[in-house]
Every structure is written in structure tokens, then in C-alpha cells.
Structure 1
């Protein structure tokens, strides 16, 4: 398994991972954008303009993606059949290396597996909202991680 920066050639697979992961992990959350709109956004904005990382497995292609925006871990998605294999752990370790002063992230309140995952990595819930600030209008929670002094 290799973690590396995404390239333009990865955009289609990155979008596929995002779509499959979102739909599997959050089946009750209504996505505000069509599959095509997500694919276009990943191709035109996420991969070229964001710090986008991929997990690539030889023979399987892209199986995970992570996007960092400074100290914000803005996206972390794994292909559903690749969850539980340590890829998310590696992505979080990389994010902490890239933002050693601390990180924050948002996840939906209904995504209890994500809560357990991030809490296992030292993130603490810092804020709960009613979802009025996100496109999905889904209640969410902001997590923060601060390095130990």
C-alpha cells in the first residue's frame, strides 16, 4: 500500500472512492450534488487545487483518499471493502505529520464509526451543530486533535 499525492490521472478513481464510501457509510444522508457534479469537482478542484493524498494498492488502484487544507482534515474516504485494513490509520498519521500543531475535522453526528475512529486517534469532540452550516443540512460534529505537550 502506497500513500502519495494525487495526480490529475487519479481524479476519476478518487471520485469513485468518494462516491462509493459516502454512499456505503452514510446511506441516509442526502447528497446535494449528483455523481457527475462530484466527479467534476474532484477533477477540477479537489485534485489540482487541494492537498489531496491517495492510498494505492498494486493491482487494485486507488482505494482511499484524504484531503488536507492546512490544519483541517477536510476529507478522508476509503473504498468500503478496504476499511479496517489500517489505511485510515496511515492517513491520520500523515495528516498529523503535515499539521503537527493540531488538526480539526467535521463528521456527521450519525457517523458513529467515524467518531470511534477519530477518538481512537486522539481527536476530541469540540462542537456539535444542527447541520445548518453544511450542504447536506445534516447535524455534524467538529473534532480537534492537539499534540501532547
Structure 2
């Protein structure tokens, strides 16, 4: 019984809270980031737990919390209108958490949001296309190759 396909049941969505990252969130966010990279990004050699703090430094990070469990996060470079990271904890994909984090990012910027997706990450491409993003560039010389998406809704 969900409010729509691929979303959390209404009772869960009412309990899902988005909040600013707090210092004691670092380890949980780093574990989500590391786990996803180990599982989905085979080209990353020797990913480490402390990679999250390195790559998100200076970014605005929003945390998705459900019943005191951190279930995802997004990081944004506001001045560049660039969504750098959006990760959902393993086991929570397909429940609308990513869409909620994306909605937050959209409301934080005054111009169309942009992001990059590795060409091999088909699930992410489908998600962003479903959310109204369109491909505006392809980096064929980057390792790994990636696509730049722009929000077509704003």
C-alpha cells in the first residue's frame, strides 16, 4: 500500500525527515557512500571510509532520516547549481528517498540543477530521466565516461 509506485508508504513518508548534516553523521554517511561505491563503482580502486569527508568538503549536505536511521544523503554545490552526490542506503532504493533529496536540491538553487552520472550507471540515468533531467553533455575522455544532466523542470 503505497501512495505511488516506488515510494514509501504514506506512514513512512510522514516520518521521513530531511535535515542538515551534523558532525556525528559523518560515519553513517561515509558507510553509505563506501558501500555504494564498493557495490556499484568497480572502477574505484581501494575506496576508503574517509573518502566521503574528502569529496563533500565545502558542500551543503542534507541527510534523510527515517525513525532515527540515516537512509540517504545528498550534497550540493549551491553556487555552481551542481548536485555532486545523492546516495540512498542499500535496501532503501526505490522508496522515494532519492526523489525527496532531489526535491530539496531543486529548491536550494535558483537556476537549473546539473549533475553527472557515469555512463555505466543505468539505474541512476533512469532515475534522473524519470525526474525530468535531460542529457546536455557527454564526457567521452573522462575515466570513467559520464553524462551531464540538467534539470528540465526548472
TM-score computed with the length of structure 2 as normaliser: 0.80
Tell me the SS of whatever aligns to 2:27. Answer: helix
Q: 1:109 touches 1:140 (CA, 8 Å); kept in 2?
A: yes
- Asked which structure has the greater RCO (Cα within 8 Å, sep 6+), the reply is 1
Displacement after TM superposition at 1:100 (Å) = 3.7
Displacement after TM superposition at 1:22 (Å) = 2.2
Distance in 2, Cα, partners of 1:58 & 1:18: 20
Distance in 1, Cα, partners of 2:52 & 2:134: 32
Residue 61 of structure 2 corresponds to 52
How many residue pairs align between the two structures?
Answer: 137
Q: RMSD value over aligned CA atoms?
A: 1.8
* Distance 1:20-1:131 versus aligned 2 partners, 3 A rule: farther
Structure (1/2) with the larger helix percentage: 1
Residue 72 of structure 1 corresponds to 82
* Distance 1:97-1:90 versus aligned 2 partners, 3 A rule: same
Q: 1:100 touches 1:147 (CA, 8 Å); kept in 2?
A: no
Q: Which stretches of structure 1, 4 residues or longer, exceed 2 Å deviation after superposition?
A: 22-26, 39-42
TM-score computed with the length of structure 1 as normaliser: 0.83
Task: Specify which of 4, 25, 39 is matched with residue 10 of structure 1.
Answer: 25
* Distance 1:58-1:104 versus aligned 2 partners, 3 A rule: same
Displacement after TM superposition at 1:41 (Å) = 2.2
